Structure 1
């Protein structure tokens, strides 16, 4: 294929959602971008966009072509970068997608040192709690909690992801300490509902030794990020389910205490760093992967466990 200008215009327009925005990125006029895309459509013999007054939308054929074209261009970029960087330090842009809380607390602090050590690197960090398609959206690295099911990804374990219920000593002194899961109905619970609309359930046993059940917290307050309301919990607002790594400092300092620790079912989820399978991993991506994993290994909060903690 020789129409690389048309391909570039098409991919930028597909990403931006308009010819005008694509033109600004490419330093071209909107008319030139539209003309380039029309030439590409003529060459392929297929319509790539449905045009509207102010917006454009990919056709099914355009969507499929965009995904394949991005993968092909990234493979070409990796090949070129590999040749350049085999004799030089890693250079170029690395796109990372990570959840908001984990990115803010544990990824962003690593970036100044990383960029200082590798001055030719560029990092594009996206903080977003939604599920992403790493390959289709053009990310080099994704960091997420849960269970990675996509076999097309290389997955590197960062740490376990234990969950626990926490409250402040002041709240429990005022409202009493729950002794059974059913007691939660009389308490102020804080629930997490992600941007997708899915609510995070609490996996509790009704009594010691009984099978665990999924509980939706009887919450009057819902948030979209599990770490964000920790300040409210410290101030005595109620009971929250949170990742142990988020609450570690508060638990160690006594600002928070576990609630129903013997009834919360152990969780088998983990935090993973993952990236697409490639025959040749770009040096710029490899160095960021290695540096981040080394950084995560030094963070006490990601690996600390309270006394008597039993992993699932």
Structure 2
């Protein structure tokens, strides 16, 4: 007969479930053992009560219940003193090791929360941002906190914090999951870029309608979905899926093709800012750049965070914000009149 059959039979007969009896027994034993250990350590029921924050009579009752459960007298009690019996001394020695382990376990948890940062931090990040921004900062972090180990997972899929045991995730775009804490690091800028050689040969689009006349390069997510370009018109975000003559499932390949003059593409600011500063890329249609995206550092709960997680979040937030990833300020931005044509809602 398995455990489930036994439970069902107990319910039919009105008998207590064995698991319930066991849990009740353990709870009673734990209370009795704590009272017993306090009396044995303090040498007095009154002092044990003060240590546990309960009355002397409560301590006495719990010890008596434990003695009844064990069918053993644990203390020799007189009006003047309290001493362990031989059986009580043996029980104390056996229990002491277990209680010490419990105390050590609790102290270890408190140290993780309040002590020096140590242990493993498991991180998830989108592939592009992880490669370009997160990974280069990790060496500096590990040097600052040598007792913290880092495990970085690059994945463009939504983060499953629970099943993948993720402590911290870096996410891009718009965060719609209200179950997580999302702390914005920096705004996420999207820049429509081309190489100077492409601009010299084909010009740049000056209105949204002109996009269809240009050689466009697309990015495909691992899910198979093609990234849709986004623009802001009249305060609303509009998406545009260009007809492309080149499509890649790697953001670095998209960037490489644009640098080679193969076409235009909309890319994240962290990918292109250095190339814009070096005049290896020029920006088009910056007046239409969406401004409601962000790069976020995410975690499940701001309470009870281990020290290692707190210092990692604070370190990365400061370091990412210190980077100059603003690619749409002062770099050949095209001043154009707003247009409402050429883009579907």
Q: Which residue of 2 aligns with 1:231?
A: 256
- Distance in structure 2 (CA, Å) of the matches to 1:161 and 1:204: 13
Q: Which residue of 2 aligns with 1:199?
A: 226
Whether the 8 Å contact between 1:168 and 1:255 is mirrored in structure 2 is yes
The answer to which structure has the higher helix fraction is 2
Whether the 8 Å contact between 2:221 and 2:249 is mirrored in structure 1 is yes
Cα shift at 1:230:
1.2
- Distance in structure 2 (CA, Å) of the matches to 1:113 and 1:213: 39
Q: Which residue of 2 aligns with 1:266?
A: 290
Cα shift at 1:282:
0.9
| Matching of residue 162 in structure 1 with residue 186 in structure 2 | no
| Matching of residue 253 in structure 1 with residue 278 in structure 2 | yes
Summarize the Cα distance change of 1:288–1:102 in structure 2 as closer, same or farther, 3 Å threshold. same
Which of 143, 149, 156 pairs up with 2:176?
Answer: 149
Summarize the Cα distance change of 1:81–1:292 in structure 2 as closer, same or farther, 3 Å threshold. farther
Summarize the Cα distance change of 1:109–1:234 in structure 2 as closer, same or farther, 3 Å threshold. same
TM-score norm. by structure 2 comes to 0.61
TM-score norm. by structure 1 comes to 0.67
| Matching of residue 287 in structure 1 with residue 311 in structure 2 | yes
Cα shift at 1:210:
10
Provide Cα deviations, 1:153-176, integer angstroms capped at 9, x if missing partner.
111111001112100110121123
- Distance in structure 1 (CA, Å) of the matches to 2:187 and 2:209: 28
- Distance in structure 1 (CA, Å) of the matches to 2:323 and 2:285: 27
Q: Which residue of 1 aligns with 2:245?
A: 220
Provide Cα deviations, 1:69-113, integer angstroms capped at 9, x if missing partner.
xxxxxxxxx977542336742111110001112111211122122
- Distance in structure 1 (CA, Å) of the matches to 2:113 and 2:206: 61
Summarize the Cα distance change of 1:96–1:138 in structure 2 as closer, same or farther, 3 Å threshold. same
Question: Where do residues 5-16 of structure 1 align in structure 2 (5 Å cutoff)?
Answer: none
Count, aligned residues: 233
Whether the 8 Å contact between 1:234 and 1:256 is mirrored in structure 2 is yes
Whether the 8 Å contact between 1:144 and 1:271 is mirrored in structure 2 is yes
**Residue 236 of structure 1 aligns to a residue in which SS?**
coil
Provide Cα deviations, 1:265-287, integer angstroms capped at 9, x if missing partner.
42301110011115311111111
- What stretches of structure 1 of length at least 5 have no aligned partner? 1-41, 46-77
Whether the 8 Å contact between 2:218 and 2:254 is mirrored in structure 1 is no
**Residue 238 of structure 1 aligns to a residue in which SS?**
coil
| Cα RMSD after superposing both structures | 2.8
Whether the 8 Å contact between 1:96 and 1:124 is mirrored in structure 2 is yes
Whether the 8 Å contact between 1:82 and 1:283 is mirrored in structure 2 is no
Q: Which residue of 2 aligns with 1:241?
A: 266
Provide Cα deviations, 1:291-311, integer angstroms capped at 9, x if missing partner.
11111121112x45422879x
